[in-house]
Chain A
């Protein structure tokens, strides 16, 4: 089909509108972070950072506790993901490679857990954490994020496992390797890309989580995570929008890096995986 320039014009105009609408907020965040305060406060907003400065980033990082919150967030997210990966892989293996009574029921449980109404559990979770003395503890958040990302981890890892032909393991076992050995030497290397993308998506979920971090870390402010800290930016920075945007940009950076790593999978594989369930 030949597409004439004139016929394509409306759709290209629409594309530009969509592009501007999706990108502008992100652009404005980054640009504001790089602008000196006098330019931010100018009566007419400047579309370009004419006098770029790193001052706001210095302010954001210099604020009491920034690194601590950054470290808390990273610690909680990484621990949750590692836990989910190890335990999820065990379950995924049992589901994909073994036959046992209750397997179907287990898979159904995982599907239901994947759709769990976490937002409705804030209150009981607060009371349980209080009862067992885990209020204000990062370990409580880690456990919640672990269980929240576990079902997704099992479902995707099972998909990746199913893609590895069992004949490979059987051949290794015929050659005298134990079942565990066969898994470690044959399946695990083939699974590495799957483990990588699964864990990165789990990391993003935990890194972004706000509701539980907000509800369960109350008294011990030193144990807050970045999203909660960022939500109270007006207490921290007042009306210093440059520093606020710099902090937001720093918060976004790890996620953006992960999206770039997963670029192909984001638009292809994971979408297909999500649709497949």
Chain B
């Protein structure tokens, strides 16, 4: 949870003095001219597409309308069709499972790694941190390619490893032909890619906790678990909340990994909401339904985003 810090009272006079020192008053149109290109870019390439998507979602917009134009408005028909289809609810459920499994794994592993980093000797810590940065630097598409190679049925090193520890059922096991197996690989891939950022950020946060707190907890006879629950976690809670909400957003809207590895298959086992929207629009040419699915994606993201944005904006208010 992101906690909103109570507003600190500040003398009005001191505040204006500080403001005028930091940002001198400038008369005229200059600031507006300076931000004009940014506003134009955001309006044309972000606001307009969003509005266009909303409009398409209340039209009948298939391949014919794409070519000829003149799509008729059909009200909420597309949304009705979605809500009435069992497949859509399956995808929603799968997306929730996907998000929860990934985010829980990412946060648990990252916290463990961050705590571990804090206890390591200097040289070992440097080695692990370098490894994390290396994994972080791997481009998404390079990682998907490598994971497909690691999990190859015949020559893949994972199957070899599993077979050589005695799990003979994995000899020549075709991971990408099985729904649950492909889902698992994608989870491993996304967790592998996400842990470095989360772990390094949490570790950076840990180093800001004053040593005296740990020291006094130790003197008071707290064990490791109590120290974490009563000292570390409360100190890191805002950071923890921030990273969790960022990871929820990233995992929820994850598209490239899934599309590159399985395109949502086999037989829909890895079709999450963003993948579903793209499939429906690009493969089935039902642009209207795809747009309606995107609306759901945006609304669900907003639910996660609003507290985060509020937090950012409060900070902004405190800064100005």
Q: Does A128 contact B (CB under 8 A)?
A: yes
Question: Contact between B50 and A143 (Cβ–Cβ < 8 Å)?
Answer: no
Contact of B23 among A19, A96, A204 (CB under 8 A): A96
Residues 288-317 of B, flagged 1 when their CB comes within 8 A of A and 0 if not, give 001100110110010001001101110111
Q: Enumerate chain A residues within 8 angstroms of B195, measured Cβ to Cβ.
A: 22
Question: Contact between A252 and B142 (Cβ–Cβ < 8 Å)?
Answer: yes
Stretch at the interface among B89-97, B98-106, B113-121: B113-121
B:232-260 near A, CB below 8 Å: 239, 242, 249, 253, 255-256, 259-260
Question: Contact between B53 and A100 (Cβ–Cβ < 8 Å)?
Answer: no
Q: Residue on A with the closest CB to B29?
A: A100
Whether A211 contacts B256 in the complex (CB less than 8 A), given A23-B135, A96-B23, comes out as yes
Question: Contact between A106 and B142 (Cβ–Cβ < 8 Å)?
Answer: no
Question: Contact between B255 and A119 (Cβ–Cβ < 8 Å)?
Answer: yes
Question: Contact between B140 and A210 (Cβ–Cβ < 8 Å)?
Answer: yes
A41 to B192: give the CA distance in the assembly, Å. 26
Q: Count contacts on A: residues with CB < 8 A to the other chain.
A: 101
Residues 134-153 of B, flagged 1 when their CB comes within 8 A of A and 0 if not, give 11111111111111011010
Taking the closest CB of chain A, its distance from the CB of B122, in whole angstroms, is 12
Q: Does A187 contact B (CB under 8 A)?
A: no
Residues 51-62 of B, flagged 1 when their CB comes within 8 A of A and 0 if not, give 011001000000
Name B's interface SS: helix
Taking the closest CB of chain A, its distance from the CB of B11, in whole angstroms, is 20
Q: Enumerate chain B residues within 8 angstroms of A98, measured Cβ to Cβ.
A: 23-24, 26, 30-31, 34
Question: Contact between B113 and A147 (Cβ–Cβ < 8 Å)?
Answer: no
Interface residue tally on B, bucketed by range: 35 or more
Residues 196-230 of B, flagged 1 when their CB comes within 8 A of A and 0 if not, give 10001100110000000000000000000000000
Taking the closest CB of chain A, its distance from the CB of B58, in whole angstroms, is 13
Question: Contact between A231 and B260 (Cβ–Cβ < 8 Å)?
Answer: yes
B:6-62 near A, CB below 8 Å: 19, 21-26, 30-32, 34-35, 37-39, 41-42, 45-46, 48-50, 52-53, 56
A6 to B317: give the CA distance in the assembly, Å. 51
Whether A120 contacts B274 in the complex (CB less than 8 A), given A25-B192, A99-B23, A277-B315, comes out as yes
Question: Contact between A166 and B31 (Cβ–Cβ < 8 Å)?
Answer: no
Contact of B320 among A104, A166, A259, A272 (CB under 8 A): A104
Q: Enumerate chain B residues within 8 angstroms of A258, measured Cβ to Cβ.
A: 137
Whether A124 contacts B49 in the complex (CB less than 8 A), given A23-B134, A112-B309, A115-B308, comes out as yes
- Beyond A12-B124, A15-B120, A91-B37, 13 extra complex contacts between A and B, CB < 8 Å: A15-B116, A22-B128, A40-B155, A100-B26, A103-B31, A104-B317, A112-B309, A120-B277, A123-B53, A230-B141, A231-B145, A245-B146, A252-B139
Q: Which residues of A contact B (CB under 8 A)?
A: 3, 8, 11-12, 14-15, 18-19, 21-23, 25-26, 28-29, 32, 40-41, 44-45, 87-88, 90-91, 93-100, 102-104, 106-113, 115-128, 130, 143-144, 146-147, 150, 154, 162, 166, 170, 204, 207-208, 210-211, 214-215, 226-227, 230-231, 233, 241, 244-245, 247-249, 251-252, 255-256, 258-259, 263, 266-268, 271-272, 274-277
